[in-house]
Amino acid sequence: MRRLLKSGIRRIAGADEHQNETLQPTLPRGQRNATVVAVAAQKGGVGKTTTSVNLASALVRNHGLRVLLMDVDPQGHVYTAIKKQVHPGGGALSSILTDERGGREVMEIVADTVLDGLDVTPCDPRLSGAEDLLGTRIGKEFILRDALQITRTHYDVVVIDCPPNLGNLTLNALVASDFVLVPCDPSPLAVNGVDALIGTVSTIANRLNPNIDILGLLMTRVDGRNTTLNQTVRSQLEAAYGEVMLDVDIGINNSLSQAQMAGLDIFEFDPRSRGAKQYTKLASMVNELLNG
């Protein structure tokens, strides 16, 4: 029985070797080595997409970086937010993540944009079904990391906009990432959400991705009029995560939501707005942290 099993294993392994030969990635390696940044928060509506889009855009516009903006959220809000700036083309990320044969690369499905240096993954509602399918695959946490192996050699930074939960897609994003940027709005429940995410990141650091680190905690949608609530939340966060709180806040700014509705980044929609200035500052800080 053991002999039969062994020869069976040799046969299956042989078949796999052969299959790998035919699945050698055809994409050429680039000369870069991207830092991968996941923008993640368990809580919905805290500005993950707004931050991902405008951070990615500012890194291209002001720092001359080549950036891939990935949308792993089935809601597809990245595309909605900058649809006027995305060229037609690209494909479905879900087809890369659920391809049983493996060896596929995210780069195969990206679309380019009006900004030279910014590529995006198009919106893909089938990511929702992919989330369930991922759960059934062996090594399910590493699928996105593997699909970025060659892709990341073509970019300086990969920014991943995550869905508002800690499911398989967020897990894949975190395992593929070097850093996590955590947006947090000044609401009473914000601190719980940050605790849950940082707990998940430290479990991932212990078990799946020892390289992951927190890039920073970013206060978003700060309402200048509600100073008492702002101060309460800020002091709770500072007590727990003072070291990683970023020295820039994103205030409530209607231009940011209007830009999203118009399908343009804030720098195209209203470059003189407060939102544009604050995201410019954030990108400079992130650029320094990534280089330091």
Ligand X SMILES: Nc1ncnc2c1ncn2[C@@H]1O[C@H](COP(=O)(O)OP(=O)(O)OP(=O)(O)O)[C@@H](O)[C@H]1O
Q: Would you count residue 124 as binding ligand X (CB under 6 A)?
A: no
- The one among 44, 64, 125, 129 contacting ligand X by CB under 6 A: 44
The contact mask relative to ligand X for 157-186 (x = CB under 6 A, - = no) is: -------x----------------------
- Phi and psi at residue 188, to the nearest 5°: -55, -30
- The one among 35, 47, 169, 280 contacting ligand X by CB under 6 A: 47
Diameter of the chain by CA atoms? 75
Q: Which window, 40-48, 92-100, 212-220, 241-249, contacts Mg ion (CB under 5 A)? A: 40-48
Q: Would you count residue 77 as binding Mg ion (CB under 5 A)?
A: yes
- The one among 23, 30, 32, 45 contacting ligand X by CB under 6 A: 45
User: Would you give the DSSP letter of residue 134?
Assistant: H
Residue 182 CB, nearest distance to ligand X (Å)?
A: 11
Residue 77 CB, nearest distance to ligand X (Å)?
A: 5
The contact mask relative to ligand X for 74-113 (x = CB under 6 A, - = no) is: -x-x------------------------------------
Instruction: Kindly write down the DSSP assignment for every residue of 106-130, as one continuous string.
Output: GGGG-EEBSSTTEEEPPP-TTHHHH
How many angstroms separate the CA atoms of 154 and 27, rounded?
10
Residues in region 240-269 near ligand X by CB under 6 A: 250, 252-253, 256-257, 260
- Contact yes or no for 283/58 (Cβ under 8 A): yes
Q: Would you count residue 49 as binding Mg ion (CB under 5 A)?
A: yes
- The one among 42, 46, 47, 48 contacting Mg ion by CB under 5 A: 48
Q: Identify the residue whose tokens are 């709005």.
A: 185
Residue 253 partner contact from ligand X, Mg ion, none using kind-dependent CB cut-offs of 5 to 8 Å:
ligand X
Residue, CB closest to Mg ion: 49
Beta bridge partner(s), residue 216? 181
- Phi and psi at residue 226, to the nearest 5°: -95, 65
Number of residues near ligand X (by CB under 6 A): 20
Residue 43 CB, nearest distance to ligand X (Å)?
A: 7
How many angstroms separate the CA atoms of 51 and 282, rounded?
9
Quickly count: other Cβ atoms within 10 Å of residue 133's Cβ. Answer: 15
User: Would you give the DSSP letter of residue 156?
Assistant: S
Residue 41's alpha-carbon distances to 87, 129, 161, 282, 291, in angstroms, are 29, 21, 10, 17, 24
* Cβ proximity to ligand X, 73 vs 105, nearer residue: 73
- Phi and psi at residue 69, to the nearest 5°: -100, 115
Q: Does residue 53 come out as left (phi exceeding 0), alpha (psi in the -120 to 50 range) or beta?
A: alpha
- The one among 34, 35, 38, 48 contacting ligand X by CB under 6 A: 48
Q: Which chain residues interact with Mg ion by CB under 5 A?
A: 48-49, 77
Q: Which chain residues interact with ligand X by CB under 6 A?
A: 44-50, 73, 75, 77, 164, 220-221, 250, 252-253, 256-257, 260, 275
